[in-house]
Amino acid sequence: MFTILVFLWMVYGLEGADVVLSCSLIEDGGGMGGMMGGAMFKRSASTLVFRDLVGNDDLSPELVTPYNPPETHNADDLIFELTCKCTDPEIPNADLLLHADCNEKEVVCEISRYVPRGAELDSLPAHFIGSVQLEGGGISLTLVLQTLHSETTQSDTHPLMQSKLNLPLSQSGTLLTEVVFVVFSRVPSIVAPIGGDVLLDCGFRQKNSIPGQDVALEWRIQHRGNGRKILDIKARETETDVGQDLFVDREGTSAEADLLVRDGNASLTLKRLKVTDEGTYICTVGSGEFQTQQIVQLLITQPPRIALSEEKLIFQDSTPQKLSCHCHRYYPLDVQVEWFSQAPSEEEPVSLSKESSLSSHRQHNDGTYSLSSHLTLRPDKNPPGTVITCRVSHPALETPSDATLTVDKPNPGKRFFCVRLPMMFSQI
């Protein structure tokens, strides 16, 4: 997916903090198709302004400076002004956008035309989809924006029309909009272990929702070019209960119909995770005339179990010995094995990785992998007291994991026995 990195800054209005995003308007992307990017779509620079996104009760008065649009209005400017105190519908975790710049996080913003169910492309009010993602973790929003009537200074004055969209601009030269539907994920990427359970976060909010209205929820998984539907719910609230039509394709998969209808909670629970559960999950929510989606990435991990082939290493003579480091049942495939030695006379470990060799990856029925690294050690370079370390790095390990042993002194008793044994036989 082609994305545009945006610059974010914040200013403070009289009632709350304003957030200004530099976005990309994707043309010829009717409905949701434009949000997928691609060379066939044209992109134009645009701006998305969240008015009064978060209250400023804790802000210093000297910081209160409202966002000011350009003094000279231009019909070619694409400024989407989102008039909110974003409480109807609520935009969850909106405060994270305020602090993105301070936390050195980039924001990705794309906007495209959207056509609600039953509407015509050129019907009014016009609708747009805004995709706002905080990279590196945090909130991901898919907003359905609806245009508002533009006021004019005089009743007989025709408003300035935006040149690309042919829509009236406000007195400030902006396109006034409001949020009427939002699908969000507060955790758009999550890592979970094999055999564990996970909750994929997804939710929605709708302005002026109708009591008893059906809510449709679909979860799909996409992985390595293949996709399938794993859950489908159509839920409705009655006077006494919540009714539902349910389809589930994976054992241990669930979503709560009552939470979906009453709280807008569309989250998915997956139990007893397997390697095959890894992938891109698409949460699609439809209510009334609106339908849109969020994407949640699920990464499966399992750290390797590490073991050396020998518990002790003793050189009885000048014969080299082979030492192996086994990495058992890890996922994903990426693993790095390093070897080090540190003799008693050395202050720092010496790398032996170039002298080692690797076996091929072995994949097990559960999708995990195993691998071995082999190292040949010589007694003249590894005297007694030398510490041999196998260091393994893997995405499931927060820090590299070490397996070590120390070269022991030869056993005098065993050496003597080996020398005297032929003499004993000769005497017999």
Residue 240 is predicted with a pLDDT of: 66
Does domain 12-28+40-151+159-180 sit in CATH 2.60.40?
yes
Distance (Å, whole) CA 388 – CA 230: 49
Check residue 60 and give its pLDDT. Answer: 52
Per cent of the chain over pLDDT 90 is: 57
Q: Is 321 exposed, middle or buried (0-12, 13-18, 19+ CB in 10 A)?
A: middle
Across 256-265, 389-398, 404-413, least confident range: 404-413
- pLDDT of residue 4 exceeding 90: no
pLDDT-based confidence at residue 414 (cuts at 50, 70, 90): low
The model carries a pTM of 0.83
pLDDT for 419 equals 35
Is the pLDDT at 59 greater than 80? The verdict is no
395: pLDDT confidence band, cut at 50, 70 and 90? very high
Flag whether pLDDT at 36 surpasses 50. Answer: no
Q: What is the mean pLDDT of residues 266-276?
A: 97
For the chain, the 3-state helix, strand and coil shares in percent, each to the nearest 5, are 10, 45, 45
What pLDDT is attached to residue 1? 35
Q: 154-163, 185-194, 277-286: which range is least confident on average?
A: 154-163
Q: Say if residue 200's pLDDT is above 50.
A: yes
Own/partner pairs, 358-366, CB within 8 angstroms, 24+ separation: 361/333, 364/329, 366/194, 366/274, 366/275, 366/329
Q: Which two tokens stand for residue 149?
A: 């009537």
Fold of the domain spanning 187-301: Immunoglobulin-like (2.60.40)
CA 95/CA 109 separation, integer angstroms: 16
Separation of alpha carbons 332 and 348, rounded Å: 32
Q: What does the pLDDT look like over 347-369, one tens digit per residue?
A: 899 999 999 999 999 999 999 99
Contact 49, 130 (CB under 8 A): no
| pLDDT tens readout for residues 85-116 | 555 688 888 778 877 766 677 889 999 999 99
Q: Which of 63-77, 161-175, 206-220, 343-357 has the lowest mean pLDDT?
A: 63-77
Q: Is 405 exposed, middle or buried (0-12, 13-18, 19+ CB in 10 A)?
A: middle
Contact 77, 70 (CB under 8 A): yes
Domains 12-28+40-151+159-180 and 187-301 share a fold: yes
Q: pLDDT band for 344, please (50, 70, 90 cuts).
A: very high
Question: How much of the chain, in percent, has pLDDT values that exceed 70?
Answer: 82
Provide the CATH topology of domain 305-407: Immunoglobulin-like (2.60.40)
pLDDT-based confidence at residue 426 (cuts at 50, 70, 90)? very low
Burial of 251 (0-12, 13-18, 19+ CB in 10 A): exposed
Whether the predicted pLDDT of 422 surpasses 50: no
Which pLDDT belongs to residue 411? Answer: 74
Run of H or E including 393 = strand 387-393
Of 297, 292, 79, 289, nearest in space to 184 by CA: 292
| Model pLDDT, residue 69 | 80
Over range 48-74, report the average pLDDT: 68
Q: How confident is the model at residue 197 (pLDDT cuts 50, 70, 90)?
A: very high
Give the domain ranges of the chain: 12-28+40-151+159-180, 187-301, 305-407
